Amino acid sequence: SHELTQPPSVSVSPGQTARITCSGDTLPNQYVYWYQQRPGQAPILVIYRDTERPSGIPARFSGSSSGTTVALTISGVQAEDEADYYCQSADSSGTSVLFGGGTKLTVL
């Protein structure tokens, strides 16, 4: 398969927990990475290797993995977390990078 599927949008109130999923047939065998993109800005890496958080990324960002579905969870959502989020992985041959379609997180 050459697809990663994300929900187009997720909405939460400040302080609540947002969960963004990403599904794909290759995910049990390939790492997943998550990027945050604010309007007009380049993406930044927020989760790597399914669950690891780069230095400088707040601890409220976490990743999880279960079979063909992975998830990005943002606990205690803040207004500044409003952005587009993309999952990224690779195809089964290891020669093509895949992006999910992106999820727009709205903080109500």
Partner 1 sequence: QVQLVESGGGVVQPGRSLRLSCAASGFTFSRSAMHWVRQAPGKGLEWVAVISYAGTKTYYGDSVKGRFTISRDTSENTVNLQMNSLRTEDTAVYYCAKDGSSYGLLGPFDSWGQGTLVTVSS
Give the interface with partner 1 as residue ranges (CB under 8 A): 30-31, 33, 35, 37, 42-45, 48-49, 54, 84, 86, 88-90, 94-102
The terminus-to-terminus CA distance of the chain in angstroms comes to 35
* CB closer to partner 1 out of 81 and 102: 102
Torsion over CA of 38, 42, 47 and 48, rounded to 10 degrees?
170
Give least dist CB 65 to partner 1, A: 15
Give least dist CB 102 to partner 1, A: 4
* CB closer to partner 1 out of 77 and 87: 87
Cα-Cα-Cα-Cα dihedral sign, residues 41, 44, 12, 99: positive
Count Cα neighbours of 70 within 13 Å in the Cβ-side half-sphere.
29
* CB closer to partner 1 out of 12 and 57: 57
